[in-house]
Amino acid sequence: MFFTTPADGTALAYEDYGTGAPLVFISGWALPTDMWECQVPFFLEQGYRCVLLDRRGHGRSDRPSSGYDTDTRADDLAALLEHLDLRDATLIAHSTGAAEAVRYLARHGADRVSRIALLGPAIPYLLQTEDNPIGIPAAMIDASTADLRADRAQWLADRAQGYFATHLGTRVSPAAIEAEVQRSMSCSPIAALEVQKAVARTDHRADVAALTVPTLLLHGLHDQSIPIEVSSHQAVRLYPAAVLKEYPTAGHGLYRSHADQVNADLLEFVKA
């Protein structure tokens, strides 16, 4: 199904299953809604309504030349919640989606949202600056972006094993890894570059510090994409009420490699 954003008329694709309390799934960078294939069937069986959004430039949504900044992406999320008139929703977001979730709350408030669960979240601030010395140096980010621009397929392939921490024996088949690479390749090249730039350089510290809803963070200790020291450890310092659960053998793709544990932790959270 599709709806049109009020700001610029972009058509965004979404899926809507079930009739229970709403769970809104927000995908990670470059990934379409299919990334949640280990979560959605489970939560439908538990009696929840599952709503999933393909962000602009991703999946089946329109591929405009602009609108990939964090504010616009957060407003797109707001437009979906308003389009479906969702209330008491739980936002479940991975990586880049977590940045959109906290910026949504900062810009639109928590009237429609009761809680958020963030997996390997790209918050609060990834860039190393004078007042954020633990961040990632700009030179490293720029080099990675240059490699992504030069050969996106190879960039993804080079990081696929580490994404799922296969060196630690995680049970992710070669076919599943290849499928995730191909899903990421389905993203618009412009969206892939522009969203990655925004994620690396957008400061969400004020957004995180201003949170008021129950917040769960799930993060792999071997996350090579969004290191836990830079992200979740910093987030709980800014918002001490957040609950952080660390996954000792997980990487960034814990929604697949540790799906059973992730689903159990999410279910416990949404039931609380």
pLDDT in tens, 56-72: 999 999 999 999 999 99
Q: Are 122 and 99 in contact (CB under 8 A)?
A: yes
Lowest mean pLDDT among 85-89, 165-169, 248-252: 165-169
Of 61, 95, 188, 257, which residue is the catalytic one?
95
HSE-CB at 95 with a 13 A cutoff on CA atoms is 26
How far apart CA 42 and CA 55 sit, in angstroms, is 23
Roughly what angle, to the nearest 10 degrees, separates helices 152-163 and 138-150? Answer: 120
Q: Residue 178's domain is classified under what CATH number?
A: 3.40.50.1820
Of 75, 223, 231, 258, which residue is the catalytic one?
223
Q: Is there a catalytic annotation at residue 95?
A: yes
Provide the pLDDT for residue 59.
96
pLDDT at 252 over 90: yes
Q: What is the residue range of 27's domain?
A: 2-271
Q: Are 32 and 183 in contact (CB under 8 A)?
A: yes
Residue-averaged pLDDT of the chain: 97
Q: Is there a catalytic annotation at residue 219?
A: no
Q: Which residue has the higher pLDDT, 7 or 113?
A: 113
As for how many domains the chain has, the answer is 1
pLDDT at 107 over 90: yes
Q: Are 90 and 22 in contact (CB under 8 A)?
A: yes
DSSP codes joined into one string, 218-247? EEETT-SSS-TTTTHHHHHHH-TTSEEEEE
Q: Is there a catalytic annotation at residue 223?
A: yes
Of 94, 222, 252, 258, which residue is the catalytic one?
252
pTM of the model: 0.97
Q: CA nearest 18: which of 84, 66, 72, 78?
A: 84
